[in-house]
A and B are shown apart, each in its own frame.
Chain A
Amino acid sequence: MTASVALLNRLRDLTVARPRPKSIRYGIAVLTVVAVALAQSAMFGSSAPWFLYTPTVVLLTLFLGRGPGIMATILSAIGAGLVVVEADEPLLLTPVHWGASVIFTLTTLGLVVLVEALRTALLDADRLREEREQALVVTAEREAFLSGVLGSSTDCIKVLDLDGKLTFMSEGGQRVMEISDFNAVAGCPWPDFWQDAGNTEAKEAMEAARHGQARSFIGKADTFMGTPKWWHVAVSPIPGQDGRPDRVLSVSRDITELRATEEQRERFVRLAENSADFVGMARTDGGVFYMNEAARRLVGLEDADITRLTIADFFPPEQVETVACEVLPAVDRDGHWVGELTFRHFRTGELIPVLYSVFPITDTTGALVGYGTVTRDFRERRRAEDDMRLMNGELAHRLKNVLAVVQSVASQTLRGVPGAEAASQNLSARLVALGAATDVLTGSSWRSADLRELATRALSPHGRIGERILLSGPAVTLKPELTVAFALALHELATNAAKYGALSNDTGTVTLAWSITGDGDDAVLAVSWREEGGPPVTPPERKGFGSALIERSLRSYFSGKAATDYRPEGLVFELEARLKDAAITTGK
């Protein structure tokens, strides 16, 4: 069976599938008919002359086509006719033979047509089979390509039915959704995966897809294992045969990390936006490109276009140079600059005192791209400072008036009391010294007092500073609680010098010198009062309030050593205390 099929196939390949040239086909047909005619006459003589021709014509037609078939039919009819020719018949053949010849010819022609149809069918079948095979190859290739694409995508690609139920999920999709077996979720309603607003969006997207529209949204959904993630989702209809939505395609991309970065960035944006301080940025050429709300409000640029402004526009003319020549170079050099400057209100021209802080803005590679500022409105602060100064002044004023009244009352009380005159004078002078100490404190808002200024105020009533009284020492700021005692002590020393010491004649001098030795907590402040050129000194027989005040009070206030040495050539008073107990130590 298989052998005969193979033989037929080969024959068909030789003839049908690969047709020979016309001349050969017709030649073969003629030769075959001649051969059959010879075999016929040899085998059967003149009986049944058409007997072998019919199968011959059928085979010829099958293998060589219709043309050779028709020609073979005509030749066969002639060949068969020649065998039965009757010479005495007027028409060469008997009427029976004529009839048989005609029937043979017609029948055989009919067979030729049928065989030709069969042959065409065979050819068509061949072609169709080949086409189908080719189509199958193409389809297989495409399927391999598509499943490769689906499998390697990290997006979660899903196909849903029109009710939103899951029917397919890509392999990559199952991985990002942490699903090990798709059957666990197959048929589940897809919108239920989404939380909060995402759920509504998913339902709306499904509804749109049912109506043939594509949608996309960003939503939050947990993976199958419960990991919370943010997704960007595109939902689109898949049209069926009739062109109407048949199924729905949903492609979700994991944007959790992107979203986290974005959220962080947004927080920074809000930090700047919501700050009550002036926050702004400018390019290196000074062109402004960002100002927050508070900044716009402060300088009256609420709805203005800020892109044409430069840093210089924010300052009054006399400060523009400071900014250009000092501030910005300092930022380039040191990385920042902070200081008090003045802004100009763009509409009213009002000058606004501000604490201006500038720093460089760099890109991710560290290259300077501009300047940033966080600037504080200092108007309130300045007002408060002014108020404080006024109040301090008023307080000092009243205090000194009270001292003046005390001085008057004391002096009135002691006036006329026998022997009290000197005491009255001393008291009066001490109250004056107290008032002077108050002045020094008020000058610095009661916070501290500069030693040199305090000495100048306390001593200038007793002699010319720089001539009779010499001051020398570094800048030291005394603690306010020590100031009054120190001022009174200086007053006593000077009063004493004026009565008995170096200031009692026209040539003596007093040197008040102070120095700091050591560092940090161990630093020591040493103060010395040295009289020279006065009359010879003799120690007093009795220590009065003056010397008690000097030694005892200073020792106690300064938590240090204080000693008076009545040297014959001049009185020397020395005070030594830890710097941190006596002074407000600043950087210097």
Chain B
Amino acid sequence: MGQSKPIGSNTILIVEDEALVRFDLVDFFADAGWRVFDAGDADEAIAILDRHKEIRVVLTDVQMPGSMDGVKLAHYVRGRFPPTILFVVSGNVPIRDDELPERTTFLPKPFDPHRLLRQIESA
């Protein structure tokens, strides 16, 4: 992605219903100097995104309670906030590329957050 990255826009939203996993990711990205938002389901995530347009990266689990799963949320985000960098995570079988919105990376669970961080920073 060739768009410019304004200083201070290292902002990530983590959407994950499993609290233990979520808190760890929050801490990890916070330690790495990121501004981190977190949500337990898609509705919560959309509310946060509406309020914080500066969010550059969204990382979402697929299986979540509520009206929208991670894949739907990803499509919503891509439509509403096109430049967002998207990661979709699942412990289930890999989701095919044609089911995901453009420029979205699928990560099988468990994934290595250090590798993810390197991937985001090189994007």
Contact = CB atoms under 8 A, between A and B. Distances in A.
A405 B20 CA distance: 6
A418 to B, nearest CB: 14
A428 B114 contact: yes
B110 interface: yes
A528 interface: no
B31 A415 contact: yes
B109 interface: yes
A553 interface: no
A408 interface: yes
Interface stretch (A188-196, A239-247, A430-438, A515-523): A430-438
Nearest to B111: A432
Interface in A421-466: 425, 428-429, 431-432, 435-436, 439, 442, 461
Contacts of B93: 393, 396, 442
B120 to A, nearest CB: 15
Contact of A409 (B20, B31, B92): B20
B20 A425 contact: no
A405 B108 contact: no
Contacts of A393: 92-93
B20 A428 contact: no
B109 A408 contact: no
Nearest to A439: B108
A203 interface: no
Interface residues of B, number: 22
A403 B109 contact: yes
B65 interface: no
A411 B18 contact: no
Contacts of A428: 110, 112-114
Interface string B1-44: 00000000000000000101101110110010000000000000
A435 B114 contact: no
Contacts of B91: 396-401, 404, 435
Interface residues of A, number: 27
Contact of B110 (A403, A412, A442): A403
Contacts of B28: 411
B108 A408 contact: no
B112 A405 contact: no
A108 interface: no
Contacts of B94: 439
Contacts of A429: 112, 114-115
A40 interface: no
Contacts, number: 69
A33 to B, nearest CB: 148
B108 A431 contact: no
B24 A400 contact: no
A401 B18 contact: yes
A521 B91 CA distance: 39
A435 B110 CA distance: 6
Contacts of A54: none
Contacts of B21: 404-405, 407-408
Contact of A435 (B63, B108, B115): B108
Interface centre among B91, B92, B115 (most CB of A within 10 A): B91
Nearest to A401: B91
B108 to A, nearest CB: 6
B107 to A, nearest CB: 10
A442 B25 CA distance: 27
A411 B110 contact: no
A204 to B, nearest CB: 75
B23 A408 contact: yes
Contact of A407 (B31, B63, B108, B110): B110
Contacts of A405: 18, 20-21
Given A400-B91, A401-B91, A415-B31, A435 B23 contact: no
A3 B113 CA distance: 153
A431 B108 CA distance: 12
Most buried by A among B21, B24, B92: B24
Given A412-B20, A431-B110, 8 more contacts: A400-B91, A400-B109, A403-B109, A408-B23, A408-B25, A411-B24, A429-B115, A435-B108
10 contacts: A393-B93, A397-B63, A400-B108, A404-B21, A406-B110, A407-B110, A411-B24, A428-B113, A428-B114, A429-B112
Give me the 6 closest cross-chain CB pairs, A-B, nearest first: A408-B24, A400-B91, A404-B110, A401-B91, A408-B21, A397-B92
